[in-house]
Amino acid sequence: MAASTSTSSLSVVGTNLSLPPHRHHRHFHSPSSISTRIRTNRLFLSSSLAFSSPRDARVVHAGLGLRRNTPDVWKHYSSVLSQPTAPVPVRQSCTSCCLASAKKRRSNLPRFVPGAFFDSSSFGLSKDKLRHASVKRVQLPHATVGPDEPHAASTTWQEGVAEKQDLSLFDSELERLEGFLGSELPSHPKLHRGQLKNGIRYLILPNKVPPTRFEAHMEVHVGSIDEEDDEQGIAHMIEHVAFLGSKKREKLLGTGARSNAYTDFHHTVFHIHSPTSTKDSDDLLPSVLDALNEITFHPNFLASRIEKERRAILSELQMMNTIEYRVDCQLLQHLHSENKLSKRFPIGLEEQIKKWDADKIRKFHERWYFPANATLYIVGDIGNIPKTVNQIEAVFGQTGVDNEKGSVATSSAFGAMASFLVPKLSVGLGGNSIERPTNTTDQSKVFKKERHAVRPPVKHTWSLPGSSANLKPPQIFQHELLQNFSINMFCKIPVNKVQTYRDLRIVLMKRIFLSALHFRINTRYKSSNPPFTSVELDHSDSGREGCTVTTLTITAEPKNWQNAIRVAVHEVRRLKEFGVTQGELTRYLDALLRDSEHLAAMIDNVSSVDNLDFIMESDALGHKVMDQSQGHESLIAVAGTVTLDEVNSVGAQVLEFIADFGKLSAPLPAAIVACVPKKVHIEGAGETEFKISSTEITDAMKAGLDEPIEPEPELEVPKELVQSSTLQELKNQRKPAFIPVSPEIEAKKLHDEETGITRLRLANGIPVNYKISKSETQSGVMRLIVGGGRAAEGSDSRGSVIVGVRTLSEGGRVGNFSREQVELFCVNNQINCSLESTEEFISLEFRFTLRNNGMRAAFQLLHMVLEHSVWSDDALDRARQVYLSYYRSIPKSLERSTAHKLMVAMLDGDERFTEPTPSSLENLTLQSVKDAVMNQFVGNNMEVSIVGDFTEEEIESCILDYLGTAQATGNFKNQQQIIPPTFRLSPSSLQSQEVFLNDTDERACAYIAGPAPNRWGFTADGNDLLETIDNASSVNNNGTKSDALQTEGAPRRSLRSHPLFFGITMGLLSEIINSRLFTTVRDSLGLTYDVSFELNLFDRLKLGWYVVSVTSTPSKVHKAVDACKNVLRGLHSNGITVRELDRAKRTLLMRHEAEIKSNAYWLGLLAHLQSSSVPRKDLSCIKDLTSLYEAATIEDTCLAYEQLKVDEDSLYSCIGVSGAQAAQDIAAPVEEEEAGEGYPGVLPMGRGLSTMTRPTT
């Protein structure tokens, strides 16, 4: 079970090893993409060019990236963003409980992670300015003592490591600088800490985003690391039983509250996201606290609940046992081979889970669930701190008082010496140390109830210089389900607590250094065909594992693995030996400061859950908690002290374990682990056994170390992509101007006061929507949507659009500018650009800052893409290889092969909705993919929307200058010429299928799908359902006609006559069906752990579909499928209740309310507002949204349900089963397989994550 607000995704780098959220997706990385990440305190750099597979692709290359949606409903997006900066959409995917990593809740925030890397041309903070600034920074108020928690990760080296200093300053200046650097960082001024008499700690942070809501998280400092040999998985079991067995939690369900829980190595967390009050204005905080108190300290271990959760966990165990999970396990087992982290994965062991009784579970709970071992976090729209403290005291004050005497803390008389004598705790607002009682009369009880001084309580073997005789040989994990080669090289050191300005300065210097490595590998090899698929360098602190891990991760096609290692090691060594250049130092330092300035400006837009996650992780690591403004001021204060020599010295230490591999002076790697396939595809020979040895891996590393190296040359950064003189010429030639928005309206500008939306149309035919928003200070987003997408692919050019978009991204060039220059331009101007292709659209999305003409720079890049895109054969080769590799990997994934088979059957083999086949890829040429993409870029086939903190004059000037001067002409075939997609004629022998995947472990999953209308009521058979429904009378339960929607000025259209009728009612129906599936298939019948219903409602294409996804065991999966079908059809006989509809409304309205301040959310609302291919979208679809949800009735929802095809002749299902049976009869090479036929290793049958557990809600 896991946090429902999570966005974590699979990571197999650094210490952050986790499984994908809720529904599986594995990461494939773009050719020669590289990610360097440092996470320490609030300073986290995610300058990532890594992205997910073509199914989930988001690439950011030189400002030109690719993000591609899947051609089905299983769409997942991985975040390349990091620290909390602004409101984010309510996330529905859930992190698993096991390895809920330090990255487990990275939010989708509008933080500037430029297309390649942060960059700037100058930084002018002198040391004199620093000294003036530093005095001010040191004087910042300390409202609290900061997170000096006893459970923070250990920071003790086995041997001292001296820090090198060479500042070339006079003695007095050096002393002044040393005094400043040694001073403490400021603490968050609004963070209130305290501790009750029984030992419970609490933290309260007022935060008004989202308004009238709060987060309450109870963290119990016990996890899988605390389990004995016969208790493996019991911490997770208790989380399930306690959470789902709470009656008080269930009472909150009707209030709009959401709740969930997760288990990790080092802690278990129960959390509730709640409104501050009920509709009757009753304060909800006491009820929420009461529920958390019952869950944590007073659970009922009923035998019936234990058995129900036992079944759920066993199903969860099989569900999460993907190949990605097994890879994570392997990495952790070798990284932490010296301690229990290598063998205490929170999901536990199946044979033990089956045996525990209530008494066994209760004893573990009694041992660890005591007040002094818990911390309560409350973050949200809390106005009265003393009242909140009183409410905490009233609910939790008496918990454990009578039987937990050993845990009660008393004031310390030792002051600063306390940390050397007893565990040191932060308490109250004064931050006094606490001395533990030393009564020895009942030592066993005191020990049992003592909170561990270090979490997790394990001893690490640090990576220190040593003899090569002590070097562990590379470990090899080989499996038939692996498709690509990957290798991870680990270095493990203690966490450096960021408490002083010196600590912060070291973090900054590491970020600068690793930024250079990222950009170098990307630029040096991206323009050619590199031997690697991706190179990532991750340097992360992990509170869950109690250490800092540096990881070099290299992925490659198996045939290129040796060259991939050689190139990556060579580049790491070159940077370590020569360091960064002065230009790189200036560029990245300035960019990081501007990014920090942006974060500080967003201080009032950070969501409560993001703030809470940051505080929780910082406390676990022992870092000082600062707010965004303090972080920026502190960063400015240390930036002027940074020197080139020190940056290179600090950075070199991070890379020594690779760059000096084999030398006595080099730290020994904690582990080197290669994960490789058992068989690989060889052209002309088919599947061949893949052979590799530890010696060969070591030799490849040495080859990279032996190659000659040269210093990095400086690169010129273009200040503009469109010169002023060129722009003036274009304006003279093309005379950009606004024309009437539509033929029926003479006005050239339509502004809606209620929504703040302005609509324009340029003379070249491009419609433009913009909205001025102050929600995200000095930030903006822009999206160009082009109608057509993959649906425009002809029968002789399948894959041309998706491969063409990828080719454009791979090339990364515009005009006469090289890829490197475009990347640096994006870095310099803090632009993030992604390119996306879907079934019905191509889009370019830009995130930019309004500072330093960032918006104008983004418009220049858009102009160059429209006018001067560069297409190259080598980029096409890389794009084709990505999709070929992905296609060949489908049969190695149970979920993807099952889903693919279902989609092929339901859509009659239409390749536009599946992955392009090898034969289709082979037929593509550079001209064909270029034409397929660029022919869609026609004026009236495009639409641009912009949202941000700009002025009317600024935005309209950019629109005229850079969009108005685009030619925007072409010969795109209209929608009538596009071959419409259709469903396979039914009944069909392919409606019920099974596949078998040869695997060492048993697993099962299934997908059930069927037709639905699109968002606007059109169906695949040509019907316009909205006309039918609008003509029918709308009758309520009392027999009267429903009233029109009311607004302040005048009545609006009734829901049934509104173009969004199906968009609204289908959304409500989806929530209701999901709730029923969980209650029936998961909770009552115990047939699955994870089941979900999703709708894919198109806008342009006249069809849609729904998909039910269910995971189970091979013995239960058929029953689970039958149960899901019964739920789908059960709405006929078991009608929707008022309570179900009200809950669905609250959920969707709450989501809308939480997202409405986000620029990205508004960008979605503006989409298609002037699109000729989506004629029913108008302003009422935005203005009426809330009232439409509120007006929906049971009858309306039932009308929508009638349009879902759930009868036996319309349903399609595919069951996937994996196990140890051999599929030896399949021998056809994958190239010969066409859509709808079998895959090698996947056998048609029948009729035709280590570290993370899953959410229970």
Show which residues are catalytic. Answer: 239, 309
Specify the 3-state DSSP secondary structure of 122: coil
CA distance from start to end of the chain: 8
What is the C-alpha separation between 34 and 48, in angstroms, rounded?
6
- Which tokens hold the place of 1204? 């879902």
Q: In angstroms, what CA-CA distances link 423 with 203, 360, 451, 454?
A: 19, 30, 9, 9
Q: Which two tokens stand for residue 863?
A: 């102009």
Question: Which among 111, 105, 54, 46 is positioned nearest to 80, based on CA atoms?
Answer: 46
Report DSSP letters for 409-468, one per residue.
Answer: -EE-SSGGGHHHHS-----TTTT--EEPP---TTHHHHHHTPPPSSSS--------B--G
List the strands of the sheet with 374-380, edge to edge.
192-195, 201-206, 374-380, 213-220, 268-275, 258-263
Query: Which residues, in sequence order, are bridge partners of residue 481?
Result: none
Q: Are strands 534-542 and 33-40 parallel, antiparallel or unpaired?
A: parallel
Angle at 520 between CA 578 and CA 76, to 5 degrees: 140
| Contact (CB, 8 A) for 570 and 578 | no
Beta strands in 939-1050 (DSSP E): 942-948, 992-998, 1003-1012
CA–CA distance, 821 with 827 (Å, rounded to integer)? 10
Q: Is 1132 annotated as a binding residue?
A: no
- Distance between CA atoms of 1175 and 941, rounded to whole angstroms? 12
Can you tell me the distance from the alpha carbon of 248 to that of 251, in angstroms, rounded to the nearest whole number?
A: 5
Structure tokens at 907: 């859509």
Collapse the DSSP code of 684 into the 3-class scheme (helix H, G, I; strand E, B; otherwise coil) and give the result: coil
Give the 3-state secondary structure of residue 772: strand
**Residue 106 backbone phi and psi in degrees, to 5:** -65, 130
- Report how far residue 766's alpha carbon sits from residue 772's, in angstroms, rounded to the nearest whole number: 20
497: tokens are 């607590």
CA–CA separation, 606 and 628 (whole Å): 10
CA 778, 779, 782: angle at the middle one, nearest 5?
Answer: 145
623 carries a ligand binding annotation:
no
DSSP type of residue 919: H
Which long-range contacts does 75-79 make (Cβ < 8 Å, 24+ apart)? 76/9, 76/20, 76/21, 76/23, 76/25, 76/52, 77/52, 77/108, 78/9, 78/25, 78/27, 78/51, 78/52, 79/7, 79/9, 79/106, 79/107, 79/108, 79/109
CA distance 791 to 912: 6
571 closest CA partner among 541, 597, 544, 536? 536
Inter-residue contact 20 to 76 (CB < 8 Å): yes
Q: Identify any residues that bridge with 1108 across adjacent strands, giving them in sequence order.
A: 1008, 1093
236 is in an annotated binding site: yes
Looking at the DSSP bridge assignments, the partners of residue 372 are none
Alpha carbon separation from 376 to 130, 240, 288, 930, 1036 (Å, rounded): 39, 19, 12, 56, 46
What SS3 state is found at 694? Answer: helix
Give the sheet arrangement for strand 1242-1245, strand by strand. 1091-1097, 1104-1112, 1003-1012, 1212-1219, 992-998, 1242-1245
Binding site residue list for Zn(2+): 236, 240, 316
Residue ranges at the known binding site: 236, 240, 316
